[in-house]
Chains A and B, each alone.
Chain A
């Protein structure tokens, strides 16, 4: 009968043959449990985060040439236009005045900004004060139970479409990437901007951008 020899003294029976010391075969299962739980955590986390989301953006309707001709250029106030190029964001406020314009205004200069908290976000917070104040006022009403959530949502939409709310136009050149565009739209949505319009860039603006990137 085979027997599992213990310790080191089991070689007594076989004369002359040195029996290898057989130690008890006990495997410590702790690392395997660690590994299993690690794999488990990995799968639990990866399956939840893989679901992509959608970000909605409504584009202005395409107008026919006749409709475009009928629109009278209205004075733009309380608007910021962002110009996106390869890795930089430029902006100017309100209306654009090209060099040597007829109204005699000084030509618009492009200012640079970035995605840090004191860049785009600070700029939008400064310009969108009306919506921010309205939001605080409405939130106080909801907290004191004087307003229902559904009315709050409706009022917020109205506030964002109000004339006093900040409007944002986005213009891009050939080198702008989708990442910058979507990051910018994301910042606009965080800042509660209601009127976002991606529009075509003007040649004078394109020239200014080229001059800046030299």
Chain B
């Protein structure tokens, strides 16, 4: 019996569902990626093989390539306590309730105490353009950075203690070390080490010697 040859037709797949799927996945990842709050300064961080993750309760000081210093703290309640202490020490600093609220929500910031009320009223983009020398730290008699770090540390310790007690009451058996603030320095690759060292000296004067540097991950050598 002669074999009947089926006419060869090239199979054509309708690609439409695959395109739908691909765009769905793209949209998912675009939305799921958390939006990083934009900083007033861009820093090109150096690399290292260290793979420790950034802890939650942090006091972060950024030093950019020009030697300007910026400050950031993670907990809004601690920031409220911080700004209250700063207003207590610097009598020239007077902020409205709205500005205090803005301070507790703001991420990285860097300006002198005198510029702070004006700085708080600006939008995020305007803050990037704002011409500021950063937080002063070079003058040992008027070291504003030292006060920010000192009061910030106390505020973070207090808020950490409250969080620890809450966790204890919830029966989670927490580790006290997780609730102590960690001090992190974010430096640009091109920052002169001399400037970073002056900032480190401010930490050391307050007897905070356990410091960390922010680095991006690089492959460990074989």
Residues in B whose Cβ lies below 8 Å from that of A50? 36
A-B contact count (CB 8 A): 155
Are A57 and B23 neighbours in the complex by a CB distance under 8 Å? no
Are B19 and A57 neighbours in the complex by a CB distance under 8 Å? no
Q: Which 4 A-B pairs have the closest CB atoms?
A: A36-B22, A29-B15, A179-B189, A55-B50
- Does A66 count as interface, using CB distance less than 8 angstroms? no
What class of interface size applies to chain A in its complex with B?
35 or more
Indicate which residue in B29, B33, B50, B55 contacts A186 across the interface (CB closer than 8 Å).
B50
Indicate which residue in B29, B49, B194 contacts A44 across the interface (CB closer than 8 Å).
B29
Are A174 and B209 neighbours in the complex by a CB distance under 8 Å? no
- Does B139 count as interface, using CB distance less than 8 angstroms? no
Alpha-carbon distance between A177 and B145 when the two chains are bound, in angstroms: 22
Alpha-carbon distance between A170 and B116 when the two chains are bound, in angstroms: 37
Are A117 and B18 neighbours in the complex by a CB distance under 8 Å? no
Name B172-222 residues within 8 Å CB distance of A.
Answer: 182, 184, 187-194, 196-197, 200-201, 203-205, 207, 209-217, 220-221
Interface on A for B, CB 8 Å cutoff? 29-30, 32-33, 36-37, 39-40, 43-44, 46-47, 49-62, 84, 117, 121, 172-183, 185-186, 189-190, 198
- Does B53 count as interface, using CB distance less than 8 angstroms? yes
Q: Which residue of B lies closest to A30 (CB)?
A: B15
Knowing A33-B18, A61-B207, A176-B194, the reply to whether A52 touches B52 (Cβ < 8 A) is: no
Are A190 and B189 neighbours in the complex by a CB distance under 8 Å? no
Alpha-carbon distance between A156 and B48 when the two chains are bound, in angstroms: 21
Are A62 and B213 neighbours in the complex by a CB distance under 8 Å? no
- Does B56 count as interface, using CB distance less than 8 angstroms? no
Q: Which residue of B lies closest to A50 (CB)?
A: B36
Knowing A62-B204, A177-B191, A182-B46, the reply to whether A51 touches B211 (Cβ < 8 A) is: no
Name B17-75 residues within 8 Å CB distance of A.
Answer: 18-19, 22-23, 25-26, 29-30, 32-33, 36, 45-55, 63
Shortest B60–chain A CB gap in Å is 10
Are A29 and B46 neighbours in the complex by a CB distance under 8 Å? no
Are A60 and B192 neighbours in the complex by a CB distance under 8 Å? no
Task: Convert B102-130 into 0s and 1s, putting 1 for each residue whose CB lies closer than 8 angstroms to a CB of A.
Answer: 00000000000000000000000000000
Residues in A whose Cβ lies below 8 Å from that of B9? none
- Does B140 count as interface, using CB distance less than 8 angstroms? no
- Does B16 count as interface, using CB distance less than 8 angstroms? yes
